[in-house]
Amino acid sequence: MPQSITTVRRNGRPSTLSRELILQAGLDVARSAPNTPVSISAIARALGVTPMALYTYFGNRDELMQALSARLLAGLFVDMPPNATPIEQVFAWAHAVRNYCLEHPQIHTMLMWEGGHSSTAWLNFSQPLFDAAQSLGFTGARQGLVMLWLWNSVMGAVRFEAHLLQTGKTAVDDEEALAPEVRNGVRLVRMVADSEEGQGLYFDFQLERIADTLIALS
């Protein structure tokens, strides 16, 4: 079982420091502030050590982030139907991502981080999307565009739903300052977005548009 940062002594210094303890501390930091990128200094503070102490176990920040994202994504699994069509592959992947991300909202800040780095575990998990795109006949730059669009479409919907779950509702600072026609439109959006059913409906609506577009483009 992973060690917990509760092994830190009362004087603030851990009884022992290990790669496993650092990873657990990083996951705890990410869980406590899911919208804030994990930093070396935050992990070090949680462990009661200096940031440089972490580099005994990880060569650099990117190595640590790759290990953290891999650990977090270890429980992500796609229940792929046998002989799934390309669209069914996309849907199965998207639903697996949605369910896991809503359970682990800290995942959003651990798929990419500063410097243009991407989680290798996340890219490997996206294999069903690559397979679906190829099966639909997308190749070369067009396949790359389709992949970017799929990632952004699915994760955008998931981030929006996660935001609503965290905040409880959408916010409009001064609704009366809106033009009447805009105000009515915003109220309709909020009516859907602020309901539990509406959040799921938006995700399903997004998947339906993805299916329509993939079929139309292929």
Render pLDDT for 177-211 as a digit per residue (tens, 0 to 9): 888 888 888 888 777 777 766 667 889 999 999 99
The two three-digit tokens of residue 13, written as one number: 């210094």
Query: pTM of the predicted model, to two decimals?
Result: 0.83
The predicted pLDDT at position 16 comes to 82
DSSP-H helix ranges across 83-195:
86-103, 120-125, 127-135, 140-167, 180-193
Query: pLDDT digit string (tens) for 28-62?
Result: 999 999 889 999 999 999 999 999 999 999 999 99
Query: pLDDT digit string (tens) for 124-177?
Result: 999 999 999 999 999 999 999 999 999 999 999 898 888 777 776 666 777 788
The predicted pLDDT at position 2 comes to 42
The residue behind tokens 């069509």 is 85
Output phi, psi for 117, to 5 deg: -85, 140
Helices 140-167/127-135 angle, 10° precision: 130
| Cα distance between residue 91 and residue 78, in whole Å | 10
Output phi, psi for 112, to 5 deg: -140, 150
Residue 50, SS3?
Answer: coil
| Cα distance between residue 155 and residue 150, in whole Å | 8
The two three-digit tokens of residue 18, written as one number: 């290990």
Helices (runs of H) and strands (runs of E) counted in the chain:
10, 2
Confidence class of residue 8 from pLDDT cuts 50, 70 and 90?
Answer: very low
Residue 70 near residue 125, CB atoms below 8 Å: no
Which domains does the chain show, CATH number per domain?
A: 5-59 (1.10.10), 86-217 (1.10.357)
The residue behind tokens 């102490």 is 53
Confidence class of residue 9 from pLDDT cuts 50, 70 and 90?
Answer: very low
Query: pLDDT digit string (tens) for 56-94?
Result: 999 999 999 999 999 999 999 999 989 999 999 999 999
Confidence class of residue 6 from pLDDT cuts 50, 70 and 90?
Answer: very low
